């Protein structure tokens, strides 16, 4: 009990009371493997290295610029990873990786000023976002990329992508590409959901006052200076089918906002529920319930009203408040945030990734921080649907873990459950704050495991630290849980001069830093999977 605070213990009882009362383990839980193997936490570090726990090793699978065959290359700033099984092949799979954003400084040779970039330079940047599909094979426990596989594919910022249901958005049936691809999800039918998060950084944003439409410029990449596109074409969840020529569509019914993640679960009645965060301060937490069992092209969108413990429907016809503001559902979806606030959605502290525990069915949501409210270290919230029914319209919510010195983590972002139901978490302290001020003692951004059973149940244990300026993103397990795929995003991102880079990871010496996906393995994972 020493290391588990009383509140955590009581909270955990809520999630695991059945197994504890019976003195047994939930199906698949890791109690035996953990009872004899104490995981000692890794020390904080600020080195320009990917530092791992002594029982965890890594190798690089893909770095920015690596060939995927036929002229295709692995894109910039890797994020969400997702394994898609290949039918009939137990030791092979497809690995989807998001490429969230570019850094013109690295993609276009030291060029920071967006207004000085040519159309060709912007097109190069457009090709480095989106996602990659890589065919991978496990050879004696080590995964390798089959670089010339016919399955390898790129979706990028130039790929024409239709809107779901044949819908038109501002008179167009297709968007030019996908971008800002942050986290995501996997559907029960093995397609990938890739989430368009900070889309306004690329082509700007739009606002509506009644019927008056106002477009504001991008403050970050300014692609609209040479290639203007409608902001309404971005900010959606995009479904990709890696087994069918990477066919893609933008799913309008899931709403338009800074989509962090789209975590899918199958409800008892066969419908699919998708939980989604909106990564902006004082924005909301959403869920979507599909109409049918195998498609997300129709269904209902809801926003969490935490004070009332209720999911509020975002429907222009069914919600009497929204009826007064929106005459059609498509416009409501384009302005999802406005509708959510009108309907009673609760503003949160940057709701980012969300995951559902595979056995207890509890839902965990990272809230990264909210400097407008002096919330510097964020928290992990837990939601429990009534009757553990994902389609329930009522729920209970609580703060499960608070970031800060006591727990040893700050700014939680990506979450992932391993096959035994332990929670893995990466943190996102921005590079301008890392190792400074309120965040000084947390060191570089890190990877943590929180066991859900065994003597260390509930402890937040640091197991890896990223290189300088980087953020560890997209944790994802192989089916057997013995390999953890992880992205190392934006190492060296605060570099200002080509001759004075802040990171040279992974090659060292004077090399340019390379965002990369690594595969981790070792006794730490083997013991957890026992």
Rule CB under 6 A: which of 207-246 touch ligand FEO? none
- Give dist(CA 235, CA 238) in Å, integer: 9
Contacts of 88 (CB under 8 A, 6+ apart): none
197 binds, among Ca ion, ligand FEO, none (CB under 5 to 8 A by kind): ligand FEO
Exposure string of 70-99, with b = 16+ CB inside 10 Å and e = fewer, is eebbbbbbbbbbbbbebeeeeebbbbbbbb
- Give dist(CA 77, CA 70) in Å, integer: 21
Q: Is the Cα dihedral 424, 428, 429, 432 positive or negative?
A: positive
In the list 353, 402, 431, 469, the residue contacting Ca ion (rule: CB under 5 A) is 353
Q: Which is nearer to ligand FEO, 393 or 433 (CB)?
A: 433
In the list 352, 418, 431, 459, the residue contacting ligand FEO (rule: CB under 6 A) is 352
User: Smallest distance from the beta carbon of 206 to Ca ion, in angstroms?
Assistant: 24
Tokens of 468: 């300088």
User: Smallest distance from the beta carbon of 263 to Ca ion, in angstroms?
Assistant: 7
Q: Which is nearer to ligand FEO, 8 or 100 (CB)?
A: 100
CB 487 within 8 A of CB 474: yes
The DSSP result for 272-332, as a single string, is EEEEEEB-SEEE-EEEEEESSSS-SSSEEEEEEETTTTEEEE--TTT-HHHHTT-SSHHHH
Contacts of 269 (CB under 8 A, 6+ apart): 391
Rule CB under 6 A: which of 276-295 touch ligand FEO? 279
Burial class (CB in 10 A: 0-12, 13-18, 19+), 524: buried
Q: Which is nearer to ligand FEO, 130 or 522 (CB)?
A: 130
Q: Which string of x and - marks every residue 165-204 that binds ligand FEO (by CB under 6 A)?
A: -----------------x--------------x-------
- Give dist(CA 517, CA 475) in Å, integer: 10
- Give dist(CA 337, CA 283) in Å, integer: 7
The DSSP result for 188-228, as a single string, is TTS-EEEEE-STHHHH-EEEEETTEEEEE--SS--GGGTS-
Query: How are strands ordered across the β-sheet holding 363-367?
Result: 351-356, 363-367, 379-385, 395-402
Q: Which is nearer to ligand FEO, 98 or 456 (CB)?
A: 98
Q: Which is nearer to ligand FEO, 80 or 151 (CB)?
A: 80
Q: Which string of x and - marks every residue 388-417 that binds Ca ion (by CB under 5 A)?
A: -------------------------x-xx-
Q: Answer yes or no whether residue 260 interacts with ligand FEO by CB under 6 A.
A: yes
Q: Could you tell me how many residues of this chain bind ligand FEO (CB under 6 A)?
A: 7
100 binds, among ligand FEO, Ca ion, none (CB under 5 to 8 A by kind): ligand FEO
User: Smallest distance from the beta carbon of 427 to ligand FEO, in angstroms?
Assistant: 11
Q: Per CB under 5 A, which region of 142-150, 299-307, 346-354, 418-426 contacts Ca ion?
A: 346-354
Comparing C-alpha atoms, which of 359, 279, 358, 315 is closest to residue 101?
279
- List, in sequence order, every residue forming a beta bridge with 293; answer none if it has no partner: none
User: Smallest distance from the beta carbon of 10 to ligand FEO, in angstroms?
Assistant: 30
Radius of gyration from C-alpha coordinates of the chain: 22
Q: Answer yes or no whether residue 100 interacts with ligand FEO by CB under 6 A.
A: yes
125 binds, among ligand FEO, Ca ion, none (CB under 5 to 8 A by kind): none
User: Smallest distance from the beta carbon of 233 to ligand FEO, in angstroms?
Assistant: 19
Q: Which is nearer to ligand FEO, 8 or 413 (CB)?
A: 413
Contacts of 211 (CB under 8 A, 6+ apart): none
User: Smallest distance from the beta carbon of 123 to Ca ion, in angstroms?
Assistant: 26
Residue 87, classed as helix, strand or coil, is: coil
Q: Per CB under 5 A, which region of 1-9, 213-221, 243-251, 353-361 contacts Ca ion?
A: 353-361
First to last CA, the chain: 24
Q: Which string of x and - marks every residue 311-350 that binds ligand FEO (by CB under 6 A)?
A: ----------------------------------------
Q: Which is nearer to Ca ion, 339 or 356 (CB)?
A: 356
224 binds, among Ca ion, ligand FEO, none (CB under 5 to 8 A by kind): none
Summarize as ranges the residues that interact with Ca ion (CB under 5 A): 353, 413, 415-416
Summarize as ranges the residues that interact with ligand FEO (CB under 6 A): 100, 182, 197, 260, 279, 352, 413
């Amino acid at each position: 009990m020493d290391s588990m605070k009383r509140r955590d213990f009581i909270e955990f009882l809520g999630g695991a009371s059945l197994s504890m009362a019976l003195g047994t383990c939930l199906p698949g839980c890791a109690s035996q493997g953990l009872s004899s193997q104490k995981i000692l936490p890794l020390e904080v570090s600020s080195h320009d290295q990917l530092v791992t726990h002594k029982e965890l090793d890594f190798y690089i699978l893909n770095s920015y610029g690596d060939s995927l065959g036929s002229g295709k290359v692995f894109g910039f700033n890797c994020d969400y990873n997702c394994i898609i099984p290949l039918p009939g092949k137990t030791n092979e799979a497809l690995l989807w990786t998001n490429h969230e954003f570019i850094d013109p400084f690295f993609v276009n040779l030291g060029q920071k000023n967006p207004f000085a970039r040519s159309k060709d330079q912007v097109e190069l940047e457009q090709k480095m976002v989106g996602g990659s599909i890589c065919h991978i094979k496990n050879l004696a426990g080590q995964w390798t990329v089959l670089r010339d596989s016919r399955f390898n594919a790129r979706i990028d910022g130039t790929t024409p992508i239709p809107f779901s249901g044949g819908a038109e958005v501002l008179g167009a049936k297709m968007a030019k590409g996908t971008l800002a691809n942050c986290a995501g999800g996997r559907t029960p039918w093995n397609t990938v959901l890739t989430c368009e998060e900070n889309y306004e950084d690329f082509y700007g944003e739009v606002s509506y006052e009644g019927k008056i439409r106002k477009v504001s410029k991008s403050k970050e990449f300014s692609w609209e200076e040479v290639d203007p596109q409608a902001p309404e074409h971005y900010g959606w969840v995009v479904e990709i089918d890696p087994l069918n020529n990477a066919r893609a569509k933008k799913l309008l019914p899931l709403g338009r906002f800074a989509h962090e993640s789209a975590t899918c679960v199958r409800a008892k009645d066969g419908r699919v529920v998708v939980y989604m965060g909106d990564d902006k301060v004082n924005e909301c937490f959403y869920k979507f319930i599909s109409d049918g069992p195998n498609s997300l092209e129709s269904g209902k969108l809801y926003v969490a009203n935490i004070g009332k413990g209720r999911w509020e429907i975002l429907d222009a016809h069914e919600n009497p408040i929204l009826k007064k503001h929106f005459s059609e559902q498509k416009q409501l979806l384009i302005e999802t945030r406005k509708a959510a606030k009108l309907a009673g959605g609760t503003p949160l502290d940057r709701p980012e990734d969300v995951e559902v525990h595979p056995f207890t069915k509890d839902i965990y949501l990272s809230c990264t921080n909210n400097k407008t409210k002096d919330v510097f270290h964020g928290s992990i919230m837990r939601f429990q649907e009534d009757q553990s029914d994902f389609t329930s319209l009522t729920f209970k919510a609580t703060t499960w873990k608070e970031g800060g010195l006591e727990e040893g983590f700050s700014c939680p972002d990506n979450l992932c459950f391993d096959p035994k139901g332990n929670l893995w978490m990466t943190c996102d302290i921005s590079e301008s704050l890392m190792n400074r001020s309120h965040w000084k003692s947390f060191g570089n951004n890190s990877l943590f495991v929180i066991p859900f059973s065994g003597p260390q149940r509930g402890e937040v244990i640091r197991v890896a630290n990223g290189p300088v300026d980087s953020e560890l993103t997209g944790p994802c397990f192989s089916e057997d849980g013995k390999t953890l795929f992880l992205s190392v995003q934006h190492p060296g991102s605060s570099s200002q001069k080509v001759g004075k880079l802040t990171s040279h990871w992974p090659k060292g010496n004077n090399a340019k830093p390379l965002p990369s996906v690594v595969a981790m393995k070792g006794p730490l994972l083997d013991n957890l999977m026992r």
